[in-house]
A = this chain, B = another copy of it.
Amino acid sequence: MQKITALTREQLAVCREELAAAYDKLAARGLALDMSRGKPGPDQLALSAELLDALLSPDDPKTVKGFDVRNYGLPEGIPEARALFGGLLDMPADQVVAGGNSSLNMMFDYVATAYAKGVCGHPAWAGQQVKFLCPVPGYDRHFSLTEFFGIGMIPVKMDENGPDMDEVERLAADPAVKGIWCVPAYSNPTGIVYSDAVVERLAALNAAAPDFRIMWDCAYIVHHLTDTPPALKNLYKAAAAYGKEDQVIMFGSTSKITFAGAGLAALAASPANIADIKKRIAMQTIGPDKVNMLRHVRFFGDADGVRAHMKLHKEILAPKFDLVCQMLEQNLGGKGIASWVCPQGGYFVSVELLPGTAARVVKLVKEAGMVMTGAGATWPYGKDPADSNLRIAPTFPPLDELKAAMELFCVAVELAAVEKLMDG
């Protein structure tokens, strides 16, 4: 395969004509595709159909210890749900708070409380200059909630092992830097799993701020696409070995395990952090939806039940990711205009394009009937300085639609690259 970047101007002109024709043909199909969000498909949702059923009899709506889940109480969640997430996050159940339906909401609340009250007795962030480290490309909703509180965001480059730890260590020496966002297992969007060495350096991180927090978003921790998934080192335990366990807040949810937005969310942290968080929860709510917790617990049994369930998701999702990777390789491989890593889990494929072409690709596919996550979304403030990263979300569309979407995407990437090389 010849690199497009090595073509002459004349060759590029021919290429552009061919690609424009191919694009017009695809656009003429009148597609209406939405590839913008990491939504589970209907076949995945059907795997949890039992949750809609009468899992809880009115004669037995109680926890093992006899607590009626239909009434007030247990603001930290039912013991069974805490144990379930403890199993998933490899943490003791009594260091888990099971919350509502959204781990993002638990992250928001954590930052909101740090802002208004401070964490663990440290001063409130309101009125201070506060910054967060944001590995890029990253999860747009982490960035938008950080921006909401006026917290400065500093991008840190990701590679196949995780964030650039030299940079992280250098930047964390600034006491205004109060945290870092991480999606350690099947990073959103690059799909990589943080290496043991990166986890170890994060665990040992000498942050200047005494209230520095690693926001460890385990959104995809059991979302494997292979039977031999890479292992993620337990950050909390590693940090505890350095006496730095208070720096770690872990989050998880079943949004992409059962129902998106109607599952369970939880966090896990050190005893000091949990005590601090419980104080806020006591002021904030009369408690989480324990009926939904008990439904989930009855459905799964325990963390192993969740892991078994995830194999059913894998059967549905692996062919979609395979298709995406095959089509990327087939259409863009070796052309010098796009790079990506085929993930072993998670919900996304991140594609690094020729600088200056990402927004153009989004525009091209949109005009041909396909919505993608906007260019820049994977960067703080929605601004990708190189305009080069795009996130593909292959889970929702059926295979035939995904194929059509990828055909269009690949042509658009190549067309945008040729345009750029000719005009740039």
Contact = CB atoms under 8 A, between A and B. Distances in A.
Q: How large, as a class, is the contact surface on chain A?
A: 35 or more
Interface in A56-103: 56-58, 61, 68-73, 100-102
B42 A49 contact: no
Nearest to A72: B260
Given A52-B61, A126-B127, 4 more contacts: A37-B72, A100-B289, A116-B116, A255-B286
Interface in A22-48: 37, 39-40, 42, 45-46, 48
A132 interface: no
B286 A260 contact: yes
A287 interface: yes
Interface of A: 37, 39-40, 42, 45-46, 48-49, 51-58, 61, 68-73, 100-102, 104-105, 108, 112, 115-117, 124, 126-127, 141, 144-145, 147-149, 255, 259-262, 280, 282-292
A112 B117 CA distance: 10
Given A49-B58, A71-B260, A260-B71, A117 B286 contact: no
* Number of this chain's copies in the complex: 2
Nearest to A56: B52
A285 B265 CA distance: 11
B54 A284 contact: no
A285 B104 contact: yes
7 contacts: A100-B100, A101-B288, A102-B287, A115-B126, A147-B283, A148-B280, A261-B289
Given A53-B54, A54-B54, A100-B100, A262 B291 contact: yes
Nearest to A58: B49
A220 to B, nearest CB: 15
Contacts of A289: 100-101, 261-262, 289, 292
A54 B49 CA distance: 10
B286 A108 contact: no
